[in-house]
Amino acid sequence: MPRILIISPNWIGDAVMAQPLLQLLKQRDPEAPIDVLAPGWVAPVWRAMQEVDTVLEAPFRHGALQLGERRDFARRLKQRGYAEAYVLPNTLKFALIPWLARIPRRIGYRGEMRYGLLNVMHRDKRRAPRPMVSFYAALAQAPSAAAPSPSALPRPALRVSRQQIDKTLAQVGLQPARPLVVFAPGAEFGSAKRWPASHFAQLADTIRHAHPEAQIALLGSGKDREVCEEIAASAPHVHDFAGITSLDQAIALIAQADAVVSNDSGLLHIASALNRPIVAIYGPTDPEHAPPFSDVAKSLSLRLECSPCRQRECPLGHHNCMRQLTPGMVWQPLKPMLETH
């Protein structure tokens, strides 16, 4: 049986939003096994997708060409019998791999002038980029100037077993019978996407006052430790797991959450794909470009004149798009989520 290869993006959120592409490929050819080549830090997301047969962890350093290593890896891929490769990153070096592996159909966006390396070329408009789920899902069809609307696509979906959830709760010392609220205060892209730590701390105090039995967990990578430690210093009743839990564990904890409060980050999109109730906080990014798709979700954005600027740091120095979005504004949609759950 000819196999399909997906070459993963480097960002967790992008990997989640590529999941509808896999659903469309399975609808087209249910018997074709789908493998994913992914960096180690993104691999747990792909392992939580039921459409994926095998996750191959990429041995390459981030940002490095490593032509010899890519050639050797391509030889291994050639033996697996791929009929198609979907190259989701836009860089030249990832398009090299299926070309070197002589995979017959190599599908992706033009990106870094990848003529010849890809033989099914899609294009996106720089001034009006496609929503992320549409951006990836469009690859399942012939190249077209129009992309499918997110509302016409299957929603991103991840799965976690009850056994994995219970195991993770026990490992981190949380009680399965008590409500769980997850905060995701980090943002890999840059500080401009982070709601202030003081706001998260105030929200934690509000939750504790209204729901004394609730457990509040801070999740993030090692890069988020500083902001999470700042929150925990002001709200010592929270459980700070930033840089402590693995991504597999974070996915399991999010799957248990009664509600998630998150910046525009990879963990937001994991929560969305697990269909958890979400309050999503947007400042310098566009909530229409990468929204949550949960049944219960609220996207908050002040939509100031200066946003979305899409900058890593606030170019005006005031960060008003996040600072002026108060804890009370977030508590308003969060409160009914906790009362319902």
Q: Quick one: 170 and 131 in the same domain?
A: no
Q: Quick one: 251 and 283 in the same domain?
A: yes
Least confident stretch, 3-7, 54-58, 66-70, 88-92: 66-70
Q: Quick one: 183 and 305 in the same domain?
A: yes
CA dist 315 and 321 (Å) reads 12
Q: Quick one: 79 and 190 in the same domain?
A: no
CA dist 120 and 201 (Å) reads 49
DSSP string, 94-157: HHHHHHHTT-SEEEEE-TTT-BTTBSEEE---SSSPPPHHHHHHGGGS---SS---GGGSPPP-
Query: What Cα–Cα distance (Å) separates residue 209 from each residue in 2, 66, 229?
Result: 57, 54, 21
338, 214 Cβ separation under 8 angstroms: yes
Inside any domain, residue 274: yes
CATH of the domain at 101: 3.40.50.2000
Handedness of CA 181, 186, 188, 191 (dihedral sign): positive
Q: Quick one: 32 and 166 in the same domain?
A: no
Inside any domain, residue 307: yes
Q: Quick one: 80 and 187 in the same domain?
A: no
Whole-structure pTM value? 0.93
pLDDT tens by residue, 137-187: 999 999 999 999 999 999 999 999 999 999 999 999 999 999 999 999 987
Q: Quick one: 132 and 208 in the same domain?
A: no
Q: Quick one: 168 and 307 in the same domain?
A: yes
pLDDT tens by residue, 161-170: 999 999 999 9
Domain housing 224 = 162-340
Inside any domain, residue 264: yes
Last residue of a domain, one of 109, 141, 173: 141
Inside any domain, residue 333: yes
Q: Quick one: 127 and 178 in the same domain?
A: no
Inside any domain, residue 146: no
Q: Quick one: 333 and 190 in the same domain?
A: yes
Residue 276 is predicted with a pLDDT of 98
Q: Quick one: 14 and 113 in the same domain?
A: yes
Instruction: Domain count for the chain, please give it.
Output: 2
* DSSP 8-state code for residue 118: B
Q: Quick one: 31 and 71 in the same domain?
A: yes
Inside any domain, residue 326: yes
